[in-house]
Structure 1
Amino acid sequence: MKLKVTGQNRGFSILVLVAACLLLLSACSSGGNGSNGAATSSQQSVANDATSGGSANEGAQSSEPVDIIWWHAMGGEMGRAVDDLVEQFNSSQEGVRVEAVFQGSYDELLNKMKASFGSNAVPAMVQMNEVSSRYMIDSGEIEPVQTFIDQEGYDLDKLEPNITGYYTFDGQLYAMPFNTSNPLLYYNKDMFAAAGLDPESPPQTFEEVYEAAKTLTKDSQTGIAIAISPWFTEQLFANQGALLVNNGNGREAPATESLLASEAGMKIMTWWKQMIDEKVALNLGRKTADTKKAFVAGQVGMIIDSTAGLKGIVDSVGNQFEVGTGFLPRPADGAPGGVVVGGGSLYILKDATAEQQQAAWEFMKFLAEPEQQAYWHIQTGYFPVTPLAYELDSVQQNMAEFPQFQTAVDQLHATTLNPATQGAVMGVFADARESVANAIEQVLTGAMEPEEALQKAAEEIQAQLERYNMTNG
């Protein structure tokens, strides 16, 4: 049936059309959702565009991309690399727009994230350091990435198992690895050669490090300097195959006891204190920046530092001497172990909308691709989280320019994944590390004997664990 428009009913028809348009607009505006609501079909299609590389989907489509905020803790050169990756992603597709926001240190970021829970200020995605894993899970505020892995059958085999292993609990991957490191022994090859040591054979055990430090110490140079870093202590535990806390390093059940004062802890502190007492090692305090400066200046022959600092150390040394790298040492009679991945990973927050969560997942997958991981590795010194990145020309060229990186890769791949090398997890890691740092200072300054200091710190950590476990059920 056709409506005949005459001069008399033309005005009425226009009114009918206007009313229909207003009703349609009202229906569209009421289709939005709150912070926890489900995505509308139009909004979901935008997120789906990113999954399919921008291909057309059935149904209505929004012309606006899904905006997500990413809070991170990468400053300086690393922050600029983050911004470059975000720009690459935003330029590669039209369905998602990411805004990266630097929030300071990991501790500052964690506090800001806690304050954002349940508010409109919550980001869709956050970067968090590895030792916050237990808290992130217990908070109930994250959506495990396993949810998205299962939904689309994402192939986890393309990622490094020794890296995903840290963030896997009860068969569920909770966070997507992003920036990963472990510690190395750095040494001055020229100083080794001048002292009659083989510059191509770095010490591998506590005993060999001690002997090398004695040989290197003379005049104004000292054998070694190790920063008072609890992270190094945790790594030296894992490298002996030793647990830091009970219940399978807190992975079989919540940790209730610190094992800091165990045989592994005693070996570490006895070795370290002996070198300090005999003046073949320097105590330069807690800042790794200070041990790096001493190494670059040729004041010490060896240091322990993160792989993430490798490029910066080599660049700072320049042509002064040749930098060598070796595996993290262990006691000669210690059980086989390995290193624990450090750095951080990416979490999706539950307070984000469904389409924002999906958009964050698309961005995470982009960051984990070989090309992006190759760029990130070359710019920052962090490991690629996918071994496929090592096949790219850019990474191979970087390895040729900085052969010291090969040591880091070999050390990672030589590590067998077990509860010790997966790493300890506890919801009070920040406080626990403070107790460990205090204990190390008391031992190295002679204020306490190793056993007394370690036992005191272990008791403090156990009290912290008890409070945390009570609060978290």
Structure 2
Amino acid sequence: MMTSNPSDRPDIFASAGNDTAAYINMEDKMYIPCNDFIVAENYDVSNIVANLRANYQRNGEWQCFPLGNTNVGQYYNTEVLGSLGIDVKTLKSYQDIFEACKVVSAAGYKNFYYLRALSHIDWLNYAMTAQGIEYYDNANGRAGVPTKCLYDEGECNAAALAFFQFVRDMIDSGYLLDPTISADDARISFANQEALIMDGYSSGANAIVSLVKESAAPFQWSYEVSPVIEAGKPSKGQSPGGGALFIANTGDYWRQQGAWEFMKYLLNDDVVSAYAMATGYTPITETGSQTEEYKEYAANVFPSVSDIIAAQKATEEGVAYAPIPFSGDANTVYKDVCAAMLSDPGYTAEQAVADMTSRINEAIELYRLTNNLD
């Protein structure tokens, strides 16, 4: 995509959800906003799931369209956990989850939790979002590129400390499955009932369905949407994630119109539901989940998806992750902090938050400097 010649660009290009802000914030736009086409033909986009708008709109105008719709949450072996008296529906916070882990450990289980949260900042920030906490200034990055992160301030600081204390406690208590294995290997461990609890994206559900079905001893399991961090705090809702599609600025009217027609095609109910069933994504439109095929999928293949859809519908307006153009840098900092927690038993939650805050603010300063924002 990084070409100086617009005609060399593909008609449509894809982006991970976390990376869309990098394209949207470029001064020299590589794309044509979808809103230009929407206005030109008065196209109705009200069918797109409401809380996806916060990700891909700016000032109420669509910049790109969602390709997928995923959620950050937890997979649970409800068969084993239920036998121990644990109702996973009551695990509303990471602190609740830690208390449940004590029960599992007391029953003799070891190394039963795959903490994917050690490898991506999504688990921290989506839980922050669920708790209704902004973690960047400038309205969580929606009023402009942030000038600082807020992990060391007020309620955001309290939640960040609680999250990293959860990580510290999970490591120290010996509850974790080998954190260096891949997500694919973790799913296999879950299907083999070695991992009883596993962080994951809801879009990984199809793999879980197949692995559990093919395992030596199939069992009951469920997926639950992102918890909040602190026990007793209400959930304000769920921020969706997933990939997005941009119409490239190729300088060719007919290529751009063709791209727009294809984007509209992808919003047809049968296409939305077929893509969701094939990938594990949640449908990106309201009616995409209402086809007979998808209803059957939700009832018989992945029942937890109905809870994801309900949670997204119940999400308060404006509850969404921060659209930051330096997400890769922030994630690198976060992973370094988690690596320090794994390698150094004396590395505290307070140190983790302080180091993360300082280094992310350095990344923000560098981004703003190189993009002439100050």
- C-alpha distance in 2 between matches for 1:383 and 1:171: 23
Give the C-alpha shift of residue 173 in structure 1: 0.9
Counterpart in the other structure of 2:350:
451
- Kindly indicate which of the two structures has a greater share of residues assigned to strand: 1
Does structure 2 retain, via aligned residues, the 8 Å contact 1:255–1:465?
yes
Q: Say which of 199, 204, 213 aligns to 2:101.
A: 213
Q: By how many angstroms is 1:394 displaced?
A: 0.4
Question: C-alpha offsets along residues 188-225 of structure 1, whole Å, 9 cap, x if unaligned?
Answer: 122113323347x4522223211221112244544422
Output the amino acid matched with 1:315.
S
Cα distance between partner residues in 1 of 2:70 and 2:225? 13
CA–CA distance in 1 between the matches of 2:55 and 2:134? 14
CA contact (8 A) 2:165 2:348 kept: no
TM-score by length of 1: 0.72
Report the AA paired with residue 96 of structure 2: E
1:154 has 2:53 as partner: no
Of 390, 409, 416, 2:309 maps to 409
Match among 195, 204, 224 for residue 309 of structure 1 = 204
CA shift, 1:325, in A, is: 2.2
Residue 21 of structure 2: aligned partner: 134
Count, aligned residues: 357
Report the 3-state secondary structure (helix = DSSP H, G, I; strand = E; otherwise coil) of the residue aligned with 1:325: strand
For 1:57, the equivalent position in structure 2 comes to none
Cα distance in 1 between the residues matched to 2:95 and 2:109: 23
Report % sequence identity.
Answer: 22
Rg larger for: 1
Match for residue 83 of structure 2? 194
- Name the SS of the counterpart of 2:14 in structure 1: strand
Note closer, same or farther for the CA distance 1:335–1:397 as it changes in structure 2 (3 Å cut): closer
Comparing both chains, which one has the higher relative contact order based on Cα–Cα distances under 8 Å and sequence gaps of 6 or more?
2
Deviation string, structure 1 residues 156-210 (Cα, Å, up to 9, x no partner) = 21111111221111121100111110122211122113323347x4522223211
- Normalising to structure 2: TM-score of the pair? 0.90
**Corresponding residue SS for 1:158:** coil
**3-state secondary structure, aligned to 2:222:** strand
- Relative to structure 2, which stretch is displaced further, 346-355 or 272-281? 272-281
Aligned 8 A contact 2:164 2:352 in 1: no
Q: 1:12-31 to 2 correspondence within 5 Å? A: none
1:393 maps to amino acid: E
Counterpart of 1:278?
A: 173
Q: Do 1:426 and 1:465's aligned partners in 2 also have CA atoms closer than 8 Å?
A: no
Shift of 1:285: 3.3
Displacement, 1:405? 1.7
Whole-angstrom distance in 2 between the partners of 1:465 and 1:416: 28
- The 1:256–1:438 alpha-carbon spacing in structure 2 relative to 1, beyond 3 Å, is same
Distance 1:230 1:287 in 2: 16
Q: Counterpart of 2:17 in structure 1: which amino acid? A: E
Q: Is the contact made by 1:186 and 1:305 (CA closer than 8 Å) also made in structure 2? A: yes
AA of the residue aligned to 1:156: V
Unaligned runs of 5+ in 2: none
- CA gap of 1:287–1:310, structure 2 versus 1, over 3 A, is same
Provide Cα deviations, 1:49-90, integer angstroms capped at 9, x if missing partner. Answer: xxxxxxxxxxxxxxxxxxxxxxxxxxxxxxxxxxxxxxxxxx
Paired amino acid for 2:93:
T
**Structure 1 residues 120 and 354, CA gap change in structure 2 (3 angstroms):** closer
Aligned to 1:322: 220
**In 1, are the aligned partners of 2:20 and 2:244 still within 8 Å (CA)?**
no
